[in-house]
């Protein structure tokens, strides 16, 4: 069965195989973001979260601009700045603050509230009313990642927790605005990604210099860490993420963010020797189950068998999910 979705103007028909393919590619982004916490604590110089955000975003953005050789036009100058701030600048700065102040699993787990935040933002900005199915699995995913964290032997840093939650809120708002505005006609994913990465990096750079001063001279480990985060965790990851946002229902994509805490906690166990309890294992299962359930098409879930009227400007899948 094929599905027709509206993507940046013309209707695009996708098969279930294509939908799952775009979902798998989009999932690479949160999988790579889950490595941020391990890389930050083990490889990067301490005490420079804002600078780390700049180094992660700005070189990748400039590289993509060099490749695509296309600049924004008209309203897309300020729209790119807003999306760059929400999706890149503010998000990465807050993410690194959380990563420096919290254990990796805890920092990434705060993103578990993102599906619920996206549902609220989608209702406010896109007039998409969240279904009980969506909210139920959002709460299930939140409970799952809470089990991963709350049963561990950890100490909570209020500033780190606030930064992690604010990062999730910034990304959730950016996700919904990205879906609402789409992309200019004829603009490719790499170009769109380059605009946002460059804008986010440029907005964050003067703040980083004012707060943290000149950057320290990086050693070989830091260079490797920054290279991984900038190339794989940013340029590649965001390009695949924005492609997914253009092709898939916004709330379904938001659930993929739950992969990030799972990766962070798994790396803490495998690489750093951090312990995992049986209840934390249950939490992993609940988080992964909620991700899978959120990707099911409406007619595959009994609770979504009821057909709802679909607004002309939205896809059938978006309206029912």
Does 319 score more than 50 pLDDT? no
* Residue whose pair of structure tokens reads 């406010």 in the numeric block: 124
pTM beyond cutoff 0.85: no
Summarised one tens digit per residue, pLDDT across range 4-43 is 443 333 334 567 778 888 888 999 998 998 888 889 888 9
What pLDDT was estimated at residue 134? 67
The helix-helix angle for 189-212 and 76-83 (nearest 10°) equals 60
Q: What is the pLDDT of residue 150?
A: 59
pLDDT at 125 over 60: yes
E-only strand ranges, the chain: 3-6, 11-14
Q: What confidence score (pLDDT) does residue 9 get?
A: 38
* Alpha-carbon Rg for the chain in angstroms: 19
168 with 117: CB under 8 angstroms? yes
Looking at residue 303, the DSSP 8-state letter turns out to be G
Distance CA 252, CA 115 (A): 8
Q: Is 235's pLDDT higher than 90? A: yes
Rounded CA separation 43/104 (Å): 13
pLDDT digits (tens, 9 = 90+) for 50-94: 898 899 899 999 999 999 999 999 999 999 999 999 999 898 788
Block residue for tokens 């993410």: 95
**Which residues does residue 13 pair with via DSSP β-bridges, in sequence order?**
4
Q: Distance (Å, rounded) from C-alpha 231 to C-alpha 81?
A: 21
The helices-and-strands tally (H runs, E runs) of the chain is 16, 2
How far from the centroid of its chain's Cα atoms is residue 180's Cα? 16
151 has pLDDT over 80: no
């Amino acid at each position: 069965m094929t599905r027709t979705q509206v993507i940046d103007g013309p209707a695009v028909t996708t098969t279930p195989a294509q939908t799952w393919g775009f979902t798998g590619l989009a999932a690479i982004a949160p999988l790579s973001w889950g490595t941020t916490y391990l890389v930050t604590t083990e490889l990067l110089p301490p005490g420079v979260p804002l600078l780390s955000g700049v180094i992660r975003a700005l070189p990748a953005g400039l590289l993509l601009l060099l490749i695509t050789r296309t600049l924004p036009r008209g309203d897309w100058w300020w729209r790119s700045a807003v999306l760059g701030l929400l999706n890149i600048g503010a998000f990465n700065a807050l993410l690194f603050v959380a990563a420096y102040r919290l254990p990796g699993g805890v920092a990434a787990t705060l993103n578990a509230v993102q599906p619920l935040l996206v549902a609220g933002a989608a209702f406010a900005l896109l007039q998409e009313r969240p279904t009980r199915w969506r909210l139920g699995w959002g709460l299930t995913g939140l409970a799952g990642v809470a089990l991963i964290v709350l049963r561990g032997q950890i100490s909570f840093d209020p500033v780190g927790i606030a930064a992690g939650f604010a990062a999730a809120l910034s990304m959730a708002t950016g996700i919904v605005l990205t879906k609402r505005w789409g992309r200019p006609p004829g603009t490719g994913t790499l170009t769109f990604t380059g605009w946002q990465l460059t804008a986010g990096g440029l907005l964050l750079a003067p703040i980083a210099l004012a707060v943290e001063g000149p950057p320290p001279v990086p050693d070989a480990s830091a260079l490797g860490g920054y290279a991984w985060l900038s190339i794989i965790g940013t340029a590649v990851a965001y390009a695949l993420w924005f492609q997914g946002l253009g092709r898939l229902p916004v709330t379904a994509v938001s659930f993929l963010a739950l992969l990030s805490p799972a990766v962070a906690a798994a790396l803490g166990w495998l690489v750093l020797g951090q312990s995992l309890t049986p209840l934390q294992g249950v939490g992993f299962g609940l988080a992964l189950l909620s991700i899978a359930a959120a990707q099911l098409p409406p007619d595959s879930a009994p609770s979504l068998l009821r057909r709802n009227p679909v607004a002309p400007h939205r896809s059938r899948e978006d309206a029912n999910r």
